[in-house]
Amino acid sequence: MAAYGLYTHIASNKLRSMLLLAGLFLLIYVLVYAGALLAEVAVDSSRSVNDYLMLAARDLVKAFPYATGAAALWIVIAYFFHQNMIDAVTGGEDVTRKQQPRLYNLLENLCVSRGIPMPKLKIMDSDARNAFASGLNRRQYAITVTSGLIKALSDQELEAVLGHELTHIRNGDVQLMVTAVIIAGVVGFFGELFFRMFTNLSWNSSSSSSSSSRSSSSSSDSNSKGGGGAVIVVIIAVVLILLAWLLSQVVKLALSRSRELLADAGSVELTKNPDAMISALRKIENRGELPGATSAVMELCIDNPREGFADLFATHPSVDSRVQALVKYAGGRDSGRLALPSDTEAAPDDDQAEQPETTGQTPPPASTAPWNDGPVRAARGPWGRRN
């Protein structure tokens, strides 16, 4: 497992961020061309396919500077106000040491110990157990933690989660993830806009076809030829829009799943406590769903329970694989998954050590857990444990 602050990983993230921004402009041009095709069909539905393609290409050339300016403006707005957008979705609010002394002191100690600039600290009022880092530069970096996570985790576990998010900031993962959010947002906006146009166009086309059925046979034959070309062009436009959307989803694949493993390793390197990272992951597992949050926001989180279709677009490795990596490479110890409330209702005779976890309360881990067994033991892995 790579170490915290891996320079090749940081350089790769910066390169991929620039490539993704360049890809954003390409996707915008594809969407504009698709929109031009739909617009030309709406203006005149009696042309041939070649005419529509040529006219749409001409419209794209005319709209090129405007599309470029709109994409650049979107990037500028996202650069300066993306945190406000995220806070509007999640309800995150800035907190001070006076408001959250426990959490603030844990984060400050980690930053001071390694000379890392202190990011902003935000709290999201939610029973979900999750956290994420955001920001595109040093002045914007922020770590958002849910109130449910604060209640459920011990100090050592919270410190491990904060160390995980700090590693995302240090490794440049945050810039790449926020860039992907920007791309998904702009493509989703224009895609929805053009699909609304397509819906209206389909409604108008069906109305016009019903009225044309009452016309003469000769004019009906003429209109059918033109109408056939319009249908083909509409299909081409829809395919282009779907392709742009699909590519915006494939952008997620640029978010290498290894970034979470690297962040877990970075947290252990900071805290010298692999057991706390494992314990935190087990308590977060399947409990991190943020109601009302978009998929883009969930991709920023320490755990994303939304796996997508057949795990095709999953942006996080499974908690089991992350825990196994910590056990193998950091010498951590795992007591296994913790039961969910639904599991406890279905099986009331489950191990009592797991019952406190299912209530949503904040009791300390059972004494049988390896991270709460009295005096700290000697290190079992290369990163060791805290003395």
Residue numbers annotated as active site: 165
What distance in Å separates the CA atoms of residue 379 and residue 273, rounded to the nearest whole number? Answer: 9
CA angle 93, 88, 101 (to 5 degrees): 10
Give whole-number Cα distances, 202 to 42, 187, 208, in Å: 10, 22, 10
State the Cα–Cα distance between residues 318 and 250, nearest whole angstrom.
19
CA 374 → CA 275, 368, 369, 370, 387, distances in Å? 13, 10, 10, 9, 12
Say which residues have a Cβ less than 8 Å from residue 386's Cβ, sequence separation at least 6: 156, 271, 272, 273, 376
Backbone angles phi, psi at 22, to 5 degrees: -65, -40
**DSSP labels, 128-153:** S--EEEE-SSTTT-EEEEEHHHHHHS
Structure tokens at 263: 């962040």
Using left for φ > 0, alpha for ψ between -120 and 50, and beta otherwise, residue 130 falls in beta
Q: Which of 189, 170, 185 is nearest to 86 (CA)?
A: 185
As a whole number of Å, the CA-based R_g of the chain is: 26
Residue type, 379: A
Report the 10 Å Cβ neighbour count for 328.
Answer: 11
Q: Please report, for residues 78, 129, 225, 249, the alpha-carbon distance to residue 161 in angstroms, rounded to integers and kept in the order given.
A: 26, 11, 63, 27
Question: In this structure, how many other beta carbons lie within 10 angstroms of the beta carbon of residue 110?
Answer: 20
